Chain A
Amino acid sequence: MGLELDAVTKSYGSVEVLRPVTLAIADGEFLTLLGPSGSGKTTILRLIGGFTQPSGGRIRLDGRDLTRVPTNRRPFNTVFQDYALFPHLTVADNVGYGLMVRRTPKADIRRRVGEALEMVGLGHLPDRYPAQLSGGQRQRVALARAIVCEPKLILLDEPLSALDAGLRRQMQDFLKDLQRRIGTTFVFVTHDQEEAIALSDRIAVMNTGGIEQIGSPKEIYYAPKTPFVAAFFGANNCLRAEVTAGGTVRMAFLDLPVPPGLAPAPRPILLAIRPELVGLAPSADALPIPCTVETIAFAGATSHIALRPERAPAERLDAMLASARDAAALSPGDAVTAYVRPADIAFVEVAP
Chain B
Amino acid sequence: MTGRSDVAPGVRAIAFVLVMAAPILLVVVPIAGFFLMSFWQMEGQQIVREPTLANYAAFFSSPAYWLTFLNTLSLCAQVTAVGLLVGYPVAYFLWQRRGRLRYVLLLLFVMPLFMSYIVKIYTMRSILGLNGFLNQALVATGLLDAPSLLFLYNRTAILITMAVIFLPFVILPIFLSLERIPANLIQASADLGAGAATTFRRVVLPLSLPGTLAGALFAFVLALGDFVTPQMVGGPTGFTFGRVIWSQFGLAYNWPFGASLGVVLFLFALLAIAVGGWAAARQRV
> Footprint of B on A, CB under 8 Å?
49-51, 70-73, 76-78, 80-82, 84-88, 97-98, 100-102, 129, 131, 145, 149
Contact = CB atoms under 8 A, between A and B. Distances in A.
Nearest to A129: B284
A156 to B, nearest CB: 12
Contact of B192 (A50, A51, A145): A145
B194 A72 contact: yes
A58 to B, nearest CB: 21
Interface string B177-209: 000001011011111111100100011001100
A312 to B, nearest CB: 52
B194 A78 contact: no
B24 to A, nearest CB: 36
Contacts of B284: 87-88, 129, 131
Given A87-B284, A88-B285, A97 B187 contact: no
Nearest to A142: B188
Contacts of A76: 191
Contacts of A78: 187-188, 191
B38 to A, nearest CB: 42
Contacts of B206: 88
A342 B195 CA distance: 59
Contact of A86 (B185, B193, B195, B198): B185
Contacts of B96: none
A321 to B, nearest CB: 46
Nearest to B182: A84
Given A78-B187, A86-B185, A98-B192, 19 more contacts: A51-B187, A51-B190, A71-B191, A72-B191, A72-B195, A80-B187, A81-B184, A84-B184, A84-B185, A85-B188, A86-B188, A86-B189, A88-B284, A88-B285, A97-B192, A97-B202, A101-B193, A149-B192, A149-B193
Contacts of A70: 190
B283 interface: yes
13 contacts: A49-B191, A51-B187, A71-B187, A72-B192, A77-B191, A80-B188, A84-B184, A87-B284, A88-B206, A97-B189, A97-B192, A98-B193, A131-B284
Nearest to B184: A84
B124 to A, nearest CB: 38
Contacts of B202: 97, 100-101
A162 to B, nearest CB: 13
Contact of B188 (A50, A73, A84): A84
Contacts of A97: 189, 192, 194, 202
A80 B184 contact: yes
B185 A72 contact: no
A201 to B, nearest CB: 24
Chain B interface bracket (under 10, 10 to 19, 20 to 34, 35 or more)? 20 to 34
A282 B280 CA distance: 75
Contacts of A49: 187, 191
Nearest to B188: A84
B190 A72 contact: yes
B193 A87 contact: no
A341 to B, nearest CB: 49
Contact of A88 (B184, B187, B191, B283): B283
A49 B194 CA distance: 14
Contacts of A129: 284
A87 B285 contact: yes
Given A51-B187, A87-B207, A101 B198 contact: yes
B199 to A, nearest CB: 8
B114 to A, nearest CB: 34
A81 B187 CA distance: 12
B147 to A, nearest CB: 49
A101 B192 contact: yes
A71 B193 CA distance: 7
* 4 nearest A-B pairs in the assembled complex, by CB-CB distance: A98-B192, A84-B188, A84-B184, A71-B190
Most A CB atoms within 10 A — which of B191, B202, B285?
B191
Interface string B254-285: 00000000000000000000000000000111
A129 B284 CA distance: 8
B283 A72 contact: no
A146 to B, nearest CB: 8
Interface string B219-248: 000000000000000000000000000000
A138 to B, nearest CB: 13
Contacts of A131: 284
Most B CB atoms within 10 A — which of A51, A77, A86?
A86
A72 B203 CA distance: 15
B183 to A, nearest CB: 9
B195 to A, nearest CB: 6
A101 B188 contact: no
Contacts of A81: 184
A85 B191 CA distance: 12
A77 B184 contact: no
A117 to B, nearest CB: 16
A102 B190 CA distance: 12
Contacts of A149: 192-193
A108 to B, nearest CB: 15
A81 B189 CA distance: 15
A71 B48 CA distance: 74
Most B CB atoms within 10 A — which of A73, A78, A87?
A87
Contacts of A101: 192-194, 198, 202
A17 B63 CA distance: 73
Nearest to B209: A88
A259 B115 CA distance: 83
A59 to B, nearest CB: 16
A102 B193 contact: yes
Contact of B193 (A72, A84, A85): A72
A49 B195 CA distance: 15
Nearest to A70: B190
